[in-house]
Structure 1
Amino acid sequence: MFGLIGHLTNLEHAQSVAGRLGYTEYGNQGLDFWCSAPPLVVDHFQVTSVTGQVIEGKYFESCFLPEMLVNRRIKAAIRKILNAMALAQKNNVNITALGGFSSIIFEEFNLKNNKQVRNVSLEFNNFTTGNTHTAYIICRQLEQASKKLGIDLSKSTVAVCGATGDIGSAVCRWLNETTDIKELLLIARNQDRLQKLRSELNQGQILGLEEALPKADIIVWVASMPKGVKINAETLKKPCLVIDGGYPKNLGTQIQHPDIHVLKGGIVEHSLDIDWKIMDLVSMDVPSRQMFACFAEAVLLEFEQWYTSFSWGRNQITVSKMKQIGEASIKHGFNPLLKW
């Protein structure tokens, strides 16, 4: 059995879907209540591979909300993720993916030093961030969508916003090693990390956001949106492909122009229906088929019985690992989302 640890996008979203999760008493509660709410098992389902293999999974709602970080309820956020991991382990799950902010919180606050959660000693080998599969899917979306739009990669400039993050750096490595692009633009806040990545790749131009975006034929956005930042569609190239790999995905509403195509990055479509409710709660267009690629990584690891933290640590994703999980993804019937 595999597990998925996730969270809802904000307090309003959590309140609106509480009843559908079976917890109506949560619906009219404020942030303080959600800070103290325990993790919950809210879905138990099966996934069938195109090979005919059938596996079971459980979804664990961490009850973490992004407002906990904004409002400096850091200790509550940390407690949420650790408690959800402990709950997954107590449910005898072989491998569990940390979705959304779960993996970010784990890395940023060094939660590997918090192995003991009450009576549970966490086995970190049973958890994965899912970032390797997410990075692979974003790269395949870039390659396939650009071809669909008639954008010649060999003549294209690609800007990666969030280039020094786990997913962003993996995308840069893939583009550097496997794809013939004209130019790579690296965008991130930390200049030291940018210089280190630039040295590793031996290519790429380091630019600020406002300077880089108008130069790009393709924009891969794998960073949180800085507060107050707006992207002016008129300054972007036409046509332009934008792959929104953030969470929540909001570039599609911010950038609206007939020649700018915003693709929901890091989303896969399964070839067969899945009878679950969790993807409906996060408003997937086809909730019985579509899911976050990080969640799909746990599915693939269960199918292949690769019970290990396939994606773990900061900036450890290699192109060979992306190809490995990519082969499993194709084998079991997952396809990159290519609809905008």
Structure 2
Amino acid sequence: MFGLIGHLTSLEHAQAVAHKLGYPEYGNQGLDFWCSAPPQIIDDITVKSITGQTIQGKYVESCFLPEMLSQKRIKTAIRKILNAMACAQKNNIEITALGGFSSIIFENFNLKQNKQVRGVELDFSHFTTGNTHTAYIICRQVEAASQAIGIDLAQATVAVCGATGDIGSGVCRWLDRKTNVQELLLIARNQERLQNLQNELGRGKILSLEEALPLADIVVWVASMPRGIDIGEIPLKNPCLLIDGGYPKNLDTKIQQPGVHILKGGIVEHSLDIDWKIMEIVEMDSPDRQLFACFAEGMLLEFEKWHTNFSWGRNQITVEKMEKIGAVSIKHGFKPYLLKTGN
């Protein structure tokens, strides 16, 4: 059995979803209540592969909200993720994917030091961030969508915002080795990590966001939005492909410029309907078939019986592992979400 640990995008979103799912005791409460709310298993999932296999899974709502990332509540955020992991393990889930901010909190705050959670000793080998599959899908989206709107990768400049993160560094490695992209622009906050990535790749220009975006034919966004910066005020090329790999995916509300094609990054479409209700809650265009690539990684590991932390640790994503998870993604009927005709 596989598990998915997720969360909602805001307190307002959480309150609305709680009412929709029949939890008025959650929907009528403020942030303090949500800070104390325990994780809940709120969905049973059935997924069929085009190979004929069928697997079962559960969705664990962590009751974490992004508002808990403030300095005042960061300990609450950490506790939420650890409690959700303990909930998955207590329910004998063999491989669980950490979605949204779950994996970011785990890695940024080094939660592997917190193995003991309310009487449960966490076995981290049964958890995956899903970031390898996400990086692979984003790269395939870059390749397909650029061709669809007439951008030649051989002559293109690609800016990766969040280049030193787990997903961002994986994307950079793929673009460097698997495509003939002309120029890579590397954007991140930590200059030492940027320099290390540049040295590893043997290429790439380190630029600020304001310097890089006007030069880019393609922007891969896998970072949190810097405070005080209005990305909508930065002029972009026409045409320009922007892959929104963040969560929530809201760059289309921030950028209204001619010729800018915005694609939801890290989203996959399955060839068959999935029996679940959770994707309706996050308002996917086709909730029976569309999902986050990190969640799909958990499904793929269950299909293959790879009950191991396939994606784990900062900057450990290799091109070889991306190819490996990509092959089984295709095998079981998943494909990248792409620009729709007329975009």
Give the shorter-chain TM-score range.
over 0.9
Q: Report the identity percentage.
A: 74
1:143–1:119 CA distance, 2 compared to 1 (3 A) = same
Q: Distance in 2 between matches of 1:229 and 1:50?
A: 45
Provide the TM-score with structure 2 as the length reference. Answer: 0.97
Shift of residue 318 of structure 1?
A: 0.3
1:179 paired to 2:179: yes
Counterpart contact for 1:242–1:263, Cα < 8 Å: yes
Matched residue, 2:145 = 145
Q: Distance in 2 between matches of 1:158 and 1:278?
A: 33
**How many residues are matched?**
340
1:155-170 matched pairs, under 5 angstroms: 155-170=155-170
Matched residue, 2:247 = 247
Counterpart contact for 1:15–1:28, Cα < 8 Å: yes
1:12–1:71 CA distance, 2 compared to 1 (3 A) = farther
Shift of residue 45 of structure 1?
A: 1.6
1:56-95 matched pairs, under 5 angstroms: 56-70=56-70, 72-95=72-95
Shift of residue 74 of structure 1?
A: 1.1
SS at match of 1:238: coil
Counterpart contact for 1:233–1:256, Cα < 8 Å: no
Provide the TM-score with structure 1 as the length reference. Answer: 0.98
SS at match of 2:38: coil
Cα distance per residue 1:70-98 (max 9 Å; x no partner) = 25201111111111001100111110000
One-letter amino acid matched to 1:328: V
1:330 paired to 2:330: yes
Counterpart contact for 2:81–2:102, Cα < 8 Å: yes
Unaligned runs of 5+ in 1: none
1:37 paired to 2:37: yes
One-letter amino acid matched to 1:329: S
1:100-249 matched pairs, under 5 angstroms: 100-232=100-232, 235-249=235-249
Shift of residue 14 of structure 1?
A: 0.3
Counterpart contact for 2:214–2:234, Cα < 8 Å: no
Counterpart contact for 1:216–1:236, Cα < 8 Å: yes
Unaligned runs of 5+ in 2: none
One-letter amino acid matched to 1:325: I
SS at match of 1:143: helix
Q: Distance in 2 between matches of 1:230 and 1:169?
A: 24
1:12 paired to 2:24: no
Cα distance per residue 1:237-291 (max 9 Å; x no partner) = 1100000000011111111234110000000000111121110101111100000
1:313 paired to 2:313: yes
Counterpart contact for 1:10–1:66, Cα < 8 Å: yes
One-letter amino acid matched to 2:338: L
Cα distance per residue 1:164-200 (max 9 Å; x no partner) = 0000000000011111011000000100000000000
One-letter amino acid matched to 1:264: K
Q: Distance in 1 between matches of 2:62 and 2:225?
A: 23
